[in-house]
Structure formats: structure tokens, C-alpha cells
A = this chain, B = another copy of it.
Amino acid sequence: MSFENSDKLTGYKERSKELLSENAIALGDMVVIKTDENEFTGLLMPRYESSDNNHIVIKLSNGYNIGISITKIRTITRTEKQTTSRQEGPFKLFEGQKNIHNSKNSNNILKTKFKIALIGTGGTIASKINYRTGGVSAVLSASDIYGSVPELKNYALIEPDAFLNEASENLRPADWTAIAHRIKDKVAAKKYQGIIVSHGTDTMHYTSAALSFALQKLSIPVVLVGAQRSSDRPSSDAALNLLGAVVFALKAQVSGVFVCMHAGPSDDVISCHLGTRVRKNHTSRRDAFESIDTPPIALMRGEIMEMNAQAESFSLNKRDETEEIKFKPDFDKRVLLLKYYPGFEPAFIDYAITTGYRAIILEGTGLGHVGKETLPLIRKAIESGILVFMTSQCIWGRIRMTVYETGRDLLDAGVIPLSNMLAETATVKAMWALANSDSPKMMVKLMKQNIANEISISIPI
């Protein structure tokens, strides 16, 4: 489904719909609204079923939405003025890009060859407030997301695909596999400059890590994007995050799996993070996502993309249409993530042994430690064939198990250190490595190998 097919006045009813129709205004049009006191210029936004019929909502150039009572509107007119202040320049990758920005008639844009696939999986970016309960639930399709960020049509033809509709805390490894298949099919179609996956933020970093291992040697960028505030709230970060994702997906010269979210609390910069090195570090802030032990790979300021100067130190594939994907979409859930704490009951590990787990990711303290009382059970687990890996609950920094006696004892017992791999990424990778190995030896080899920058080469000390 393309934007062309979506309802031109979604959510407007009765008097408000009549007013817009009379003036030949459609969603996404730049309009000037005059009231007795003020003049507002902005993009016409869609409304939702539960909204009243007496307001027209436009997105101002500062990114905020306002609703204007139709009883106060004196005139409403469509204007040709573009929101963007930069008519050309930043887009350098693709021939013909300039035409988009010089176009006077936005309908022409849909005829360009630049296409982005937008795979919807659910989450806040696809949510709206339930005015009955005051809560937020996932109800909008990818098509609705696209409709709620009309300025996207200035950049490329977005083809939404409402694939899943699930809060991300409910996603399971089987969903990673399904999403990977969907992406692979779109990549194989060879008609997109990039693929965007809209996703709930709770586990977006787990999914981005999973896709980083499942989809190797991608020919184009795959960008996950979410929102911390739902799209129908004036303070929503959905539009700018999606815009940043589109800019990166179109312009980046690299392929791989990435996450685009706000870089700071204000609406000006979007960070692009490596899929294996990103973490949700705040429950509610727009800039909740942070790159760990590395800077973001790129920043987007409006249409301008700045690649990080250090990006060359990462092993990233170049965008390359002819690249053949290495597709390994399976995950095996028999991996246990255990966070250590004083008072941790070592017998817990016995449970893992008897219930068929094949690997344990320890989230140890400091440089990669657990209390010495745990050592006998760790030895027992390893002797019974379970692979035990070490990460740190510190979040930042590399583990080093040769410095202290505790670490050396754990190494002697056969615990395998995972450098500065994030515990979340390590858990996902172990599920992937388990599904893609025919022996413990092969799994260990995969875990130690730096496949998708999950072990970062240079980190600030």
C-alpha cells in the first residue's frame, strides 16, 4: 500500500472534513490558517476516530502539533512553501535526488525512483492514546504511521507494510526470525534504497542485535526506529525519528542494521546507532537510546547526515546492490541470562543444568566476576556441557578476567570472556550461535568472532 492509496483526510469528519474538502486540502499539504488573532503555517495532520470534529491539526515547523478550532478559522489555504529550508546539497548519494527538492509539485515526488520499505511491527510509534483508559495501546498500521508523518513524501516513496502489531516486550526470538525473513524478501526485491522497521522501544535493541546476526552482508541499510511518545501526542518524537531513519536509509554509504532515535531531549538531532552496540538507558526520555563504548555512527540534523569520523574504525559493509545476503535467521532459546548479585543462590545454576539450557550468559560484576561460592556450580554446568560466557553489569567498558584471582579462577573453570559485548547483545548472539552451530566448539568460535561490531575495536578509556 502506498501513500497514494491512503485516505486523504483520515479522521476528519463532518464540519472539519467539509472545510478541508471545500479548500481542496489533503493530508500532508502545507497550509496557512488565519484566525482573528493569529496566522499558523504547517502540515495538515491526520486525526483519529476518537477525536472531536471541531479541530484541525497542523504540525508547525518546530515539530509540534497544534489543534485549531474550526469556529476560529477565518481562512485556510494550501501553499506551495516547503518546510525544508535546504533545497539542495545534502543529498549526494543518488542521481536525481536534486529533482525532489526542486520540485514545486509534491505529487511529482511519488514518481521518483527512491523507495523505502517501512515494515511495521507495533510499539509506541504505532500507538495512540486510549482516551477511555488514559493508557496507550498499539492500534495503528504502518500505513497510519506514514500518514501521520506526511513530510516523509518529500524524501522518497515510502511503501508501508503492516507486518506485526505487537508491543515490543511481547516479541520473542521467533518474531526476530519472522522479521528477518520479511526484510530478506524486501532486500531480494532490489527496489528499495533502504528498509525501515518501526518497532516498540522496550526491546528494540534486542531485535537490532538479532537482525545484525541474522542478516549479514546486507546490500542496503536496515534501520529500526521507534518513539517514546505516541504519534498522536503533540510531544511525539515519532516524526523526527522516522525522518532521521529515512535520511540515513537513503544517504548512508554503508549497509548493516542500525537504530535511529533522538540524540538529545530537543527536536533537532537524531542519532544512528550500530544495531549491536545500542541500549535503552532511560525509561521515558526521547534520547533513551545510547551507543555503548562507541559514538553513534551518524547524526542527522534535518536532511543533513554527518557520518562519524570514527565510523571507519568499524567493520561495516559498503552499500552494494550486488552483494549477496548471508541469511541466518534462526535462534535457539535455550540460553539463560543470569545477573549476579550478592546473595545470588548458586543452586540456580543447577536449575539451568536440569532444564536443558545449552548456554548461560553471566552478567557479572566489574571486570567479569561472580562470588567464589558460585564457582563449584559453574564448574558443574561446564562439565555437563553448558557453555558459560561472561559479560559485565557495568554496561560500559571491557571485561578483563586476568587481573584478579576471581577472574582467573573463572577462566580456569572454562568460563569464556566476551570482551565488551553488551549482556543483551551477548544473550541474543548466543541464541543465534546455538541455532547456527553443529558443535559446542563451533558455537564458541562464533561467540568469540566479531561478526557485527558486537565487540568494539577501540573504546574510550
Q: Please report A residues at the B interface, Cβ cutoff 8 Å.
A: 133-137, 167-173, 175-176, 201-203, 206-207, 265, 280-285, 288, 331, 333, 335-337, 339-345, 347-348, 351, 355, 363-373, 392, 394-400, 402-408, 420, 424, 427-428, 431, 461
Contacts and interface: CB of A to CB of B under 8 A. Distances in A.
24 contacts: A135-B402, A135-B403, A136-B404, A167-B369, A169-B340, A170-B406, A171-B342, A173-B342, A175-B342, A176-B342, A265-B461, A281-B394, A281-B396, A283-B366, A283-B367, A283-B394, A283-B396, A285-B396, A285-B397, A333-B345, A337-B341, A341-B427, A342-B428, A345-B355
A335 B344 CA distance: 9
A282 B406 contact: no
Contact of A283 (B203, B207, B285, B399): B399
A365 B136 contact: no
Contact of A343 (B133, B335, B364): B335
B203 A367 contact: no
Nearest to A332: B343
B172 A203 contact: no
A392 B279 CA distance: 13
Contacts of A207: 342
Query: Lowest 5 CB-CB distances: which A-B pairs, in order?
Result: A283-B397, A202-B365, A202-B366, A169-B369, A282-B396
A169 B206 contact: no
B461 A371 contact: no
A202 B400 CA distance: 13
Nearest to A283: B397
Nearest to A228: B366
A335 B342 CA distance: 11
A322 to B, nearest CB: 34
Contacts of A363: 339
B400 A284 contact: yes
Given A169-B371, A281-B395, A366-B280, A347 B355 contact: yes
A372 B175 CA distance: 14
B367 A284 contact: yes
Contact of A394 (B133, B288, B342, B399): B288
Contact of A369 (B202, B341, B371): B202
B282 A169 contact: no
A76 to B, nearest CB: 34
Contacts of A373: 170, 172
A355 B281 CA distance: 33
Contacts of A400: 283-284
Contact of A280 (B333, B394, B402): B394
A325 to B, nearest CB: 23
A203 B342 contact: yes
A371 to B, nearest CB: 5
Given A172-B342, A341-B424, A137 B405 contact: yes
B341 A284 contact: no
Contacts of A364: 169
Given A342-B171, A351-B351, A365 B284 contact: no
A397 B284 contact: yes
Nearest to A398: B283
